């Protein structure tokens, strides 16, 4: 990926973008193809999936069989480099020592951010998700509606390529005809879950994921995305033609050297660079947004990790898209006489109302799946089917004791084993010789896993602030996290626990562990799903929000937030698609307002 050093930077840019992931990549794509000169600051090193993705190596060819190491927490096949739960020299702290009040913060220090390793589940927020308070009286409403965002969901899906089906379910928006790509076939476990779900009233349908099941229509889509802009159409068309369809062979978490999966590094950044309007400076650890005498942002102060020196880039507009937590850290550290507590924090709300996805899981062993004929179920490298939330009517009838809901992600395959045994040792312990081989073949592929991904309602106990005592290796104050689940989230977890058990037992199987007594026993820690959102929410009132409905900060009119920091709620849908849709909408606003001279 072409990059520059700070001494090659222009004296001033139209826009400075901090972050190169879903939000930053989408912002760079939209702005540069419209002709704006942009510079992107990436805290990690450059990364090119075309040359650095180990997607064709088998597990026996990987160091330590692909097992986890300190610098590769999710194993050798994870695409993340120089990032993870801990980043050397860049700590974060906890506001509590209690195990249920810990927040685990995943940071990707690489070009493209988390888009390189994510599960690519691409679900639209529904009408109730944008107006949750109006629906059930809890949390807050967004200052925008589904109808405001729907055209941008359409464009993002057409650009990145999303497979799936329209099911016509309440609060599960359909895409326009012709936008979604055909879904892959269900695996054996998916089909069994679908059959079982019909008996129990749990829908099991094709999931939406950003993986190409066929090549994009490069002859017609670019004109729909960029009407009247012939140069942009050609650049995007050429980029789409360079992407091959998935051939169902490797785990998408490794990245994708044939560009079948969406990654910012293969979909957003190449067209932006091809436009000639984007410079990328890697290893640029943003410290603060700089404010000029006129009260407007005029650049970003960052640490060049290669030299340890503080450097500056200047711009007429600044966009933070560093991930919600990182953007909060930058806002809070951007202190000046005008903003003594950080930009946007005159009302004290920067860092407040942080959320994550409510998650738990249960595995079952299913005798009906034993001794299946050998077959390849690698598929699209992740989920093929899932269960959208089906309980809205039951909630209206008062049959459920919690608000909101969750979707179910299904895991059951006979994909190529990793470095360890594909069968839990509880089923093989003490065996050897022919009996070991016989039982390994018997049980291989006979397990199914159900995982809940639930809606979290914002609460006052979940927030981030600067630690007054701890600084990173460059002397910048770090974030201190505070976390506390509410009882509503625990009820969501327990409903999932019993639903999963019912599904497994209806299949004729048994859970592989004892059922939990309460949600705290099985809920994943805050931040553990890597879906943290909020911390700089949007709103209609500058007294209780950080930015307006255009992602524009109230305090500084030429400073915009283009990651998940402006999220007002965290639906049971994965946030990445919404991040991109809002970033595209925000970029269009910047283009329009810049042309008018309003920024």
Question: Residue 138's closest CA among 405, 406, 533?
Answer: 405
Q: What is the pTM of this model?
A: 0.97
Percent of the chain topping pLDDT 90 = 88
Q: In what order do the strands lie in the sheet with 447-454?
A: 205-206, 385-387, 406-411, 447-454, 358-365, 510-511
pLDDT of residue 561: 98
At the top level of CATH, which class does the domain 1-51+77-161+253-356+459-483+531-599 belong to? alpha beta
Q: What share of the chain is helix, strand, coil (3-state, %, to 5)?
A: 30, 20, 50
Q: What's phi and psi for 220, nearest 5 deg?
A: -120, -30
Q: What is the pLDDT of residues 281-336, one digit of tens each?
A: 999 999 999 999 999 999 999 999 999 999 999 999 999 999 999 999 999 999 99
CB 164 within 8 A of CB 206: yes
Higher-pLDDT residue of 141 and 66 is: 141
Find the mean pLDDT for residues 499-517: 97
* Residues contacting residue 425 through CB under 8 Å, at least 6 positions apart: none
Asked whether residue 521 carries a pLDDT value surpassing 90, the answer given is: yes
Asked whether residue 58 carries a pLDDT value surpassing 80, the answer given is: no
Which sign does the torsion angle of CA 34, 35, 41, 42 carry? positive
Within 424-575, where are the H helices?
433-443, 487-506
Question: Residue 307's closest CA among 2, 83, 1, 7?
Answer: 7
Tell me the Cα Rg of the chain.
24
CB 354 within 8 A of CB 308: no
pLDDT of residue 249: 82
- Specify the range with the lowest mean pLDDT, choosing from 261-265, 379-383, 559-563: 379-383
Higher-pLDDT residue of 182 and 55 is: 182
Find the mean pLDDT for residues 402-415: 92
pLDDT of residue 81: 85
- How far is it, in rounded angstroms, from Cα 361 to Cα 43? 33
Burial 20-53 (b: 16+ CB within 10 A, else e): bbbbbbbbbbbbbbbebbbbbbbbbbbbbbeebb
Q: What's phi and psi for 451, nearest 5 deg?
A: -125, 130
pLDDT of residue 167: 97
Asked whether residue 418 carries a pLDDT value surpassing 70, the answer given is: no
The residue to which tokens 């692909």 are assigned: 66
CB 562 within 8 A of CB 24: yes
Asked whether residue 415 carries a pLDDT value surpassing 80, the answer given is: no
β-pair partners for 299:
290, 314
Find the mean pLDDT for residues 196-218: 98
Asked whether residue 419 carries a pLDDT value surpassing 70, the answer given is: no
Q: What is the pLDDT of residues 224-241, one digit of tens each?
A: 999 999 999 999 999 999
What distance, in Å, lies between the first and last C-alpha atoms of the chain? 31
pLDDT band at 451 (very low <50, low <70, confident <90, very high): very high
* Residues contacting residue 149 through CB under 8 Å, at least 6 positions apart: 125, 130, 578, 581, 582, 585
- How far is it, in rounded angstroms, from Cα 315 to Cα 291? 11
pLDDT of residue 95: 97
β-pair partners for 317:
15
Asked whether residue 165 carries a pLDDT value surpassing 90, the answer given is: yes
pLDDT band at 343 (very low <50, low <70, confident <90, very high): very high
Neighbours of 569 (CB within 10 A): 26
β-pair partners for 453:
359, 407
How high is the mean pLDDT of the chain?
Answer: 95
Find the mean pLDDT for residues 517-527: 96
pLDDT of residue 166: 98
Q: What is the pLDDT of residues 537-547, one digit of tens each?
A: 999 999 999 99
Report in angstroms the alpha-carbon separations of 410 from 277, 291, 385, 445.
42, 48, 7, 13
Asked whether residue 88 carries a pLDDT value surpassing 80, the answer given is: yes
pLDDT of residue 37: 98
pLDDT of residue 68: 78
Find the mean pLDDT for residues 152-161: 98
Percent of the chain topping pLDDT 70 = 99
Find the mean pLDDT for residues 453-473: 97
pLDDT of residue 152: 98
β-pair partners for 278:
38
- How far is it, in rounded angstroms, from Cα 370 to Cα 300? 58
Asked whether residue 250 carries a pLDDT value surpassing 90, the answer given is: no
β-pair partners for 463:
482
Residues belonging to the chain: 599
- Rounded to the nearest 5 degrees, what angle is found at the Cα of 397, between the Cα atoms of 395 and 400? 40
CB 286 within 8 A of CB 340: no
* Residues contacting residue 344 through CB under 8 Å, at least 6 positions apart: 331, 350, 536, 546, 547, 553, 554, 555, 556
3-state secondary structure of 211: strand
pLDDT of residue 54: 80
pLDDT band at 510 (very low <50, low <70, confident <90, very high): very high
Asked whether residue 425 carries a pLDDT value surpassing 90, the answer given is: no
Q: Where are the domains of the chain?
A: 1-51+77-161+253-356+459-483+531-599, 183-206+358-455+486-522
Find the mean pLDDT for residues 153-172: 98
């Amino acid at each position: 990926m072409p990059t520059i050093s700070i001494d090659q930077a222009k004296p001033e840019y139209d826009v400075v973008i901090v972050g190169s992931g879903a939000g930053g990549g989408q912002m760079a794509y939209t702005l540069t193809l419209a002709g704006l000169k942009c510079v992107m600051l990436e805290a990690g090193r450059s990364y090119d999936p075309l040359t650095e993705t180990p997607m064709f190596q088998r597990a026996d060819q990987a160091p330590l069989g692909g097992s986890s190491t300190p610098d590769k927490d999710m194993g050798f096949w994870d695409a993340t480099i120089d990032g993870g739960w801990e980043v050397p020299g860049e700590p974060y702290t906890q506001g509590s020592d209690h195990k249920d009040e810990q927040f685990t913060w995943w940071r990707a220090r690489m070009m493209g951010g988390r888009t390189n390793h994510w599960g690519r589940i691409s679900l639209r927020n529904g009408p109730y998700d944008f107006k949750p308070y109006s629906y059930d009286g809890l949390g807050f409403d967004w200052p925008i509606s589904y109808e405001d965002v729907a055209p941008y969901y359409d464009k993002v899906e057409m650009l990145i390529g999303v497979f799936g089906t329209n099911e016509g379910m309440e609060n599960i928006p359909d895409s326009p005809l012709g936008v979604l790509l055909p879904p892959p076939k269900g695996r054996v476990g998916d089909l069994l879950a679908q059959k079982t779900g019909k008996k129990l009233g749990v829908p099991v349908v094709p999931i939406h994921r950003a993986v190409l099941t066929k090549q994009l229509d490069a002859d017609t889509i670019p004109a729909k995305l960029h009407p009247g802009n012939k140069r942009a159409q050609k650049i995007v068309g050429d980029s789409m033609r360079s992407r091959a369809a998935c051939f169902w062979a490797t785990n998408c978490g490794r990245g994708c050297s044939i560009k079948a999966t969406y990654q910012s590094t293969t979909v957003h950044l190449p067209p932006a660079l091809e436009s000639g309007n984007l410079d990328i400076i890697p290893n640029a650890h943003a410290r603060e947004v700089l404010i000029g005498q006129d009260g407007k942002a005029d650049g970003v102060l960052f640490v060049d990790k290669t030299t340890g020196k503080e450097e500056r880039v200047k711009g007429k507009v600044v966009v933070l898209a560093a991930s919600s937590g990182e953007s909060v850290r930058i806002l809070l550290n951007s202190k000046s006489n005008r903003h003594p507590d950080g930009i946007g924090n005159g009302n004290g709300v920067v860092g407040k109302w942080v959320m994550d996805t409510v998650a738990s899981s249960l595995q079952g062993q299913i005798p009906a799946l034993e001794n299946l004929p050998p077959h390849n179920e690698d598929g699209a490298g992740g989920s093929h089917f899932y269960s959208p939330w089906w309980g809205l009517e039951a909630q209206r009838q008062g049959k459920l004791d919690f608000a909101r809901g969750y979707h179910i992600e299904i895991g059951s395959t006979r994909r190529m084993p990793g470095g360890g045994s594909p069968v839990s040792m509880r089923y093989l312990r003490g065996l050897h010789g022919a009996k070991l081989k016989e039982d390994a073949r018997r049980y291989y592929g006979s397990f199914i896993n159900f995982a809940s991904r639930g809606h979290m309602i914002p609460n006052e106990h979940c927030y981030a602030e600067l630690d007054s005592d701890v600084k990173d290796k460059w002397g910048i104050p770090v974030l201190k996290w505070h976390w506390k689940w509410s009882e509503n989230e625990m009820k969501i977890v327990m409903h999932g626990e019993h639903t999963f058990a019912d599904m497994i037992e209806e299949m004729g199987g048994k859970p592989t562990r004892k059922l939990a007594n309460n949600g705290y026993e099985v809920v994943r820690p805050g931040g553990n799903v890597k879906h943290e959102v909020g911390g700089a929410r949007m709103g209609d009132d500058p007294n209780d929000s950080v930015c307006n409905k255009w992602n524009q900060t109230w305090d500084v009119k030429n400073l915009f937030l283009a990651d998940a920091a402006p999220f007002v709620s965290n639906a049971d849908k994965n946030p990445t698609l919404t991040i991109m849709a809002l970033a595209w909408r925000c970029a269009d606003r910047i283009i329009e307002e810049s042309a008018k001279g309003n920024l």
